[in-house]
């Protein structure tokens, strides 16, 4: 009997030892100097999945690189799906890694996290699931070099910021030009995470801190979630990191000024991961390790912060879920939503900042003045971080939006985001309100394959509009209300209008031959003396207009029944009845 027990014990020890060896990461094998290739990343997660019931690795949607995304589900209860975890009432932390593969800290830290759980060095709270995307930008990860991110201290080689379409995927969460973004949307809506973490590495100023943290704007969360975030969540994260040996500071958004003079928090509009997550009432964070710190320090700081998130979320899981449910209900019932914000400098939080003295000296390249930081002169100062934004423009929500089915690119994106919407079952005439685009500015140079529209000026019109069977009706009585308003209202910063999905309406399709229309215009003015009076008044007030026969003829055309009604008419209609 003793012999059998000893044999069993030795076998168990041997199996545990071999499992530990097989799960050793590239980061560990190289003493923190290297990060794995894409093939090594996925092979490691597959091994981890096979080695333990605490981890399930799922294959998800496609990417532009031709490889699928993966989702690792990590829990003490061994849930094999997000659905099963949610059915059991578990809280969800969703972690995204490698959106910028040149910033691979989260890739390695997540592997260490999973390894620690599997090897029972870390016990997850029983009511918590950590869902991990091992690497998001696969195309960038495959495009590997030691020359990217010239300013960064390690690892020895890593991926490129651009994906397989050379897109920056952290600008793609509304426009969804990439397959990655569409697949991520599906994962995000499936998880509906209570906490979302997107691991990054910073650039910019030099300072002593290893870890900085970008928290999605508390003002945008609003209500009970903002109060909880400011009063409990953020303070606990900073205190927890200090206990682990890391003096954390908010993301150092100091450009054009010395950091010791303070800064405003980063404005994360919905194009970014954290801004997108905010639209869905998730607590969203972007850890940003400091690029000038050694790679092993950065990875371990990322691991420490994720463990900190896990501890706090597990301890406060029920309250976090309740706060999110209350916020979702409030969003479904709210009458209006802000779509433009401005910084309010009366609101700030003080932090202890550990920096280096900076100055200017002649450049050895240009001979002109250049910035430098003197690491032999560290300092500690109390600084102000301005973290309060207030609404600049709010929109009263309609009862519903109606989108004609021809705008399928927008419709596809709404459906991908699990928006509740139905098709008209028959041709119908409905009293609606719509916007006319009176003015806007557009970027002269492309930005992520688009020319963003901004400074949009609209007027409103109402009337009965004919809609066809199959056009889409979207009622605003759902948790997606915030997402809908910020994507479908043309004046919102990251609306689908801003991202050029409706640009076709800005080009006039019908016109006229001037020599033919002259006689029709003259007869029309005789029949419409009020328009004739407006024409004369315009000539008196605008000398340039008075000298242009073409401008006057166009004035008559655009105030006549022959002018196409869809030109500059924003094709998302608002229903109030």
Read off the pLDDT of residues 145-191 as tens digits, 9 standing for 90 and up.
999 998 899 999 999 999 999 999 999 999 999 999 999 999 999 99
| Domain region containing 454 | 391-508+567-575
- Is pLDDT above 80 for 433? yes
Does residue 354 lie in a domain region?
no
Question: What is the average pLDDT value for the chain, to the nearest integer?
Answer: 94
The answer to whether residues 407 and 523 belong to one domain is no
SS3 17: helix
pLDDT given at position 22: 84
Does residue 186 lie in a domain region?
yes
pLDDT given at position 18: 45
pLDDT given at position 21: 53
Does residue 257 lie in a domain region?
no
pLDDT given at position 577: 79
Nearest to 383 by CA among 352, 347, 418: 352
- Is pLDDT above 70 for 267? yes
The answer to whether residues 149 and 192 belong to one domain is yes
The residue-averaged pLDDT of 7-14 equals 45
Nearest to 459 by CA among 353, 557, 569: 569
The answer to whether residues 78 and 221 belong to one domain is yes
Confirm if 180 and 276 have CB atoms less than 8 A apart.
no
Does residue 260 lie in a domain region?
no
Sign, Cα dihedral of 366, 153, 236, 266: positive
Does residue 188 lie in a domain region?
yes
How many domains are contained in the chain?
Answer: 3
262: left (phi over 0), alpha (psi -120 to 50) or beta: left
pLDDT given at position 251: 96
Does residue 502 lie in a domain region?
yes
pLDDT given at position 204: 84
- Is pLDDT above 60 for 8? no
Please give the Cα distance from 511 to 504 (Å, whole number).
Answer: 16
The answer to whether residues 536 and 415 belong to one domain is no
Where do the H-state alpha helices sit in 352-394?
A: none
The residue-averaged pLDDT of 80-88 equals 96
Element (H, E) at 13: helix 2-22
The answer to whether residues 451 and 554 belong to one domain is no
Spatial CB neighbours of 314, under 8 Å, sequence gap ≥ 6 = 91, 124, 125, 127, 128
The answer to whether residues 479 and 540 belong to one domain is no
The answer to whether residues 29 and 93 belong to one domain is yes
Does residue 484 lie in a domain region?
yes
The answer to whether residues 87 and 202 belong to one domain is yes
Does residue 3 lie in a domain region?
no
SS3 226: helix
The pTM is what?
0.92
The answer to whether residues 310 and 177 belong to one domain is yes
The answer to whether residues 301 and 230 belong to one domain is yes
CATH number, domain of 71, equals 3.40.630.10
The answer to whether residues 550 and 485 belong to one domain is no
The answer to whether residues 112 and 220 belong to one domain is yes
* Residue-wise pLDDT tens digits, 197-249: 999 999 889 999 999 999 999 999 999 999 999 999 999 999 999 999 999 99
* Residue-wise pLDDT tens digits, 351-403: 999 999 999 999 999 999 999 999 999 999 999 999 999 999 999 999 999 99
């Amino acid at each position: 009997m003793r012999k059998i027990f000893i044999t069993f014990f030795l076998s168990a020890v041997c199996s545990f030892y071999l499992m530990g060896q097989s799960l050793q990461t590239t980061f560990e094998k190289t003493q923190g100097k290297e990060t794995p290739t894409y093939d090594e990343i996925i092979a490691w997660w597959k091994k981890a999945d096979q080695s333990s019931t605490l981890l399930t690795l799922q294959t998800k949607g496609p990417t532009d690189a031709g490889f699928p995304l993966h989702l690792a589900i990590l829990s003490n209860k061994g849930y094999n799906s997000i659905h099963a975890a949610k059915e059991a009432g578990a809280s969800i932390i969703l972690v995204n890694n490698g959106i910028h593969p040149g910033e691979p800290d989260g890739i390695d830290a997540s592997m260490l996290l999973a390894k620690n759980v599997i090897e029972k060095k870390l016990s997850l709270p029983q009511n918590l699931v950590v869902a991990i995307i091992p690497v998001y930008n696969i195309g960038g990860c495959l495009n590997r070099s030691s020359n990217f991110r010239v300013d960064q201290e390690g690892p020895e080689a890593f991926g490129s910021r651009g994906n397989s379409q050379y897109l920056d995927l952290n600008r793609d969460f509304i426009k969804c030009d990439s397959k990655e973004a569409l697949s991520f949307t599906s994962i995000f809506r499936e998880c509906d995470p209570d906490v979302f973490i997107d691991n990054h590495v910073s650039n910019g100023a030099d300072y002593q801190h290893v870890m900085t943290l970008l928290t999605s704007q508390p003002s945008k969360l609003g209500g009970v979630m903002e109060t909880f975030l400011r009063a409990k969540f953020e303070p606990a994260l900073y205190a927890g990191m200090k206990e682990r040996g890391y003096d954390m500071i908010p993301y150092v958004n100091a450009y054009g000024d010395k950091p010791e003079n303070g800064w405003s928090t980063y404005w994360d509009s919905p194009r970014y991961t954290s801004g997108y997550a905010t639209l869905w009432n998730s607590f969203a964070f972007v850890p940003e390790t400091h690029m000038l710190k050694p790679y092993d320090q950065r990875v371990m700081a990322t691991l420490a912060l994720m463990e900190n998130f896990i501890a706090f979320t597990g301890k406060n899981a029920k309250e976090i879920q309740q706060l999110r449910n209350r916020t979702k209900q409030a969003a479904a019932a709210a009458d209006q939503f802000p779509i433009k914000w401005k910084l309010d400098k009366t609101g700030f939080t003080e932090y202890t900042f550990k920096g280096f003295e900076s100055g200017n000296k002649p450049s050895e390249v240009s001979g002109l003045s250049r910035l430098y930081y003197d690491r032999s002169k560290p300092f500690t100062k109390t600084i102000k971080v301005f973290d309060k934004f207030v609404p600049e423009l709010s929109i009263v929500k309609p009862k519903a939006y109606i989108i004609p089915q021809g705008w399928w690119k927008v419709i596809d994106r709404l459906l991908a985001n699990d928006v509740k919407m139905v098709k008209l079952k028959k041709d119908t005439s409905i009293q609606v309100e719509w916007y006319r685009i009176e003015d806007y500015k557009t970027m002269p140079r492309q930005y992520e394959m688009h020319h963003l529209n901004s400074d949009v000026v609209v007027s409103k019109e109402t009337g009965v509009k004919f809609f066809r069977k199959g056009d889409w009706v979207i009622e605003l009585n759902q948790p997606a209300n915030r997402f809908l308003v910020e994507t479908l209202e043309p004046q919102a910063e990251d609306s689908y209008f801003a991202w050029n999905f409706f640009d076709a309406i800005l080009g006039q399709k019908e016109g006229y031959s001037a020599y033919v229309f002259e006689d029709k215009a003259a007869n029309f003015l005789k029949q419409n003396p009020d328009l004739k009076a407006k024409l004369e008044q315009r000539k008196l007030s605008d000398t340039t207009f008075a000298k242009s026969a073409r401008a006057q003829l166009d004035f008559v055309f655009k105030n006549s029944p022959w002018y196409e009604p869809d030109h500059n008419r924003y094709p998302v209609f608002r229903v109030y009845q």
